[in-house]
């Protein structure tokens, strides 16, 4: 078992163990999801009219049961429990879970859906794991510790993951910038933001995969200037920062997590592979 301290210290040996244990959990949840037949899966609708399917519930059970063993005593804030059992004050250190991010992609037959787990300490995501079940890949990382990508191989355990390789974001290139945009939530604010960048190749993608592409250096920027929730982005936030990038509010201020009184809502953010590029865009915006 890994007991997380309230003050995050990436030098502690337990950090690597925590990331491995979380990777095993997302791998197990991923295996359960791919075993479900999409065309016949049971589905229903939440109060906000977003879809929920049986795969959400299966992954949720696997993850929550595992987390009670890995990080006993830490509050677990999950998208699927937010309506029935909301946690208004999660404390200094807690876990954010999205058992199936990209439900619309799952139902549409696309591969862009993920399983997300993140540890938040003092308002900041410090460790995260993401699995893409249909792609058989995982991404994981901890701030100050590093990030990696690996292949999901049976059995569903971190020690069976193949081709594990470290991740590093790339400097913003002078040309051929690659921008990840939401397949379902692109809006006029994002269009105006992109107009401030050099000509860029836009890559439409669903779920938290966009963060993963930044962490591995295949995408440079991911703007999401409309509302979302902490559980949608916390794992990706931690992985991008662990790989050398930055995730912040559109004006450059830090994102603060654990805002239970606000329903864990996030009004918008921008993820950058190159932190220096982010500073340059903010400076230019101030002059405009």
pLDDT (tens, 9 = 90+) of the chain, 288 residues, equals 344 444 555 555 578 889 989 999 999 999 999 888 766 555 544 444 444 567 888 899 999 999 999 888 899 999 877 665 678 889 889 999 999 998 888 888 889 999 999 999 999 999 999 999 999 999 999 998 999 999 887 766 666 667 889 999 999 998 889 999 987 777 788 888 888 888 889 999 989 999 999 999 999 999 999 899 999 999 999 999 999 999 999 889 999 999 999 999 999 999 999 999 888 776 565 444
Separation between Cα atoms, residue 245 and residue 217, nearest integer Å: 10
**Looking at residue 48, what is its pLDDT?**
47
Nearest-angstrom CA–CA distance, 257 and 259: 6
Residues 154 and 192 in one domain: no
| 184 in the same domain as 123 | no
Q: Does residue 228 form part of some domain?
A: yes
Task: For residues 85 and 201, state if they share a domain.
Answer: no
- Is 261 among the domain residues? yes
Number of structural domains, the chain? 2
Q: How far apart are CA 39 and CA 41, in angstroms?
A: 6
Secondary structure of residue 255 in the 3-state scheme: coil
Tokens 């050099």 belong to 198
Domain shared by 32 and 133, yes or no: yes
Q: 162 in a domain, yes or no?
A: yes
Q: Write down the pTM of the prediction.
A: 0.90
DSSP, collapsed to helix, strand or coil, labels residue 277 as: helix
Is the same domain home to 217 and 256?
A: yes
Phi first, then psi, for residue 157 (nearest 5°) are: -150, 145
Domain containing 279 — which CATH number?
3.40.190.80
Residue of 216, 220, 218, 186 whose CA lies nearest to 204: 186
pLDDT at 164: 84
Q: Are residues 35 and 121 in the same domain?
A: yes
Listed in sequence order, the residues at least 6 apart from 97 whose beta carbon sits closer than 8 Å to its beta carbon are 60, 63, 64, 67, 76, 77, 78, 79, 80, 116, 117, 118, 231
Query: Which of residues 104, 138, 166 is at a domain's end?
Result: 166
Residue 112 CB partners (closer than 8 Å, separation 6+): 102, 105, 132, 183, 205, 206, 207, 209
Judge whether 5 lies within some domain: no
Residues 113 and 205 reside in one and the same domain = no
pLDDT score, position 189: 83
Q: Please check whether residues 18 and 161 belong to one and the same domain.
A: yes
Instruction: Specify the pLDDT at position 5.
Output: 44
Say if residue 156 is in the same domain as residue 241: no
Is position 6 within any domain? no
Q: Which domain-ending residue is among 132, 166, 200?
A: 166
Residue 172 in domain: no
Distance of alpha carbon 15 from the chain centroid: 18
Q: What is the pLDDT of residue 4?
A: 44
Q: Does residue 105 sit within a domain?
A: yes
Same domain, 148 and 251: no
State whether 84 and 113 are in the same domain.
Answer: yes
Residue with tokens 């864990």: 264
Judge whether 76 and 94 are in contact, CB under 8 Å. yes
Q: 111 with 195, same domain?
A: no
pLDDT at residue 285, as a whole number: 57
Q: Which of 120, 143, 166 is the last residue of a domain?
A: 166
Domain with 39 in it: what CATH number?
3.30.540.10
Q: Residue 283 sits in which domain range?
A: 177-287
């Amino acid at each position: 078992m890994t007991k997380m301290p309230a003050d995050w210290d990436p030098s502690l040996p337990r950090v690597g163990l925590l990331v491995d244990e979380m990777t095993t959990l997302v791998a197990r949840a991923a295996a359960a999801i791919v075993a479900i037949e999409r065309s016949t899966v049971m589905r229903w609708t939440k109060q906000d009219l977003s879809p929920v399917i049986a795969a959400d519930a299966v992954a949720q059970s696997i993850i929550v049961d595992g987390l009670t063993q890995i990080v006993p005593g830490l509050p677990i804030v999950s998208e699927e429990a937010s309506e029935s059992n909301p946690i208004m004050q999660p404390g200094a250190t807690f876990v954010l879970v999205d058992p199936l991010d990209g439900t619309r992609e799952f139902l549409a037959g696309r591969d862009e859906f993920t399983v997300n787990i993140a540890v938040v300490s003092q308002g900041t995501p410090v460790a995260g794991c993401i699995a893409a079940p249909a792609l058989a890949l995982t991404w994981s990382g901890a701030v100050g510790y590093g990030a990696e990508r690996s292949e999901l191989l049976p059995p569903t355990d971190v020690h069976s993951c193949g081709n594990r390789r470290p991740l590093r974001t790339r400097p913003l290139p002078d040309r051929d910038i690659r921008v990840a945009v939401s397949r379902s939530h692109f809006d006029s604010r994002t269009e105006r933001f992109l107009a401030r960048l050099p000509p860029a190749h836009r890559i439409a993608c669903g779920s938290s995969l966009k963060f993963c592409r930044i962490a591995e250096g295949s995408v440079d920027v991911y703007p999401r200037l409309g509302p979302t929730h902490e559980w949608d982005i916390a794992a990706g936030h931690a992985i991008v920062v662990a790989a050398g990038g930055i995730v912040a509010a559109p004006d450059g201020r830090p994102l603060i997590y654990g805002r239970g009184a606000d329903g864990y809502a996030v009004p918008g953010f921008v993820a950058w592979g190159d932190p220096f590029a982010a500073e340059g865009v903010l400076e230019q915006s101030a002059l405009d």
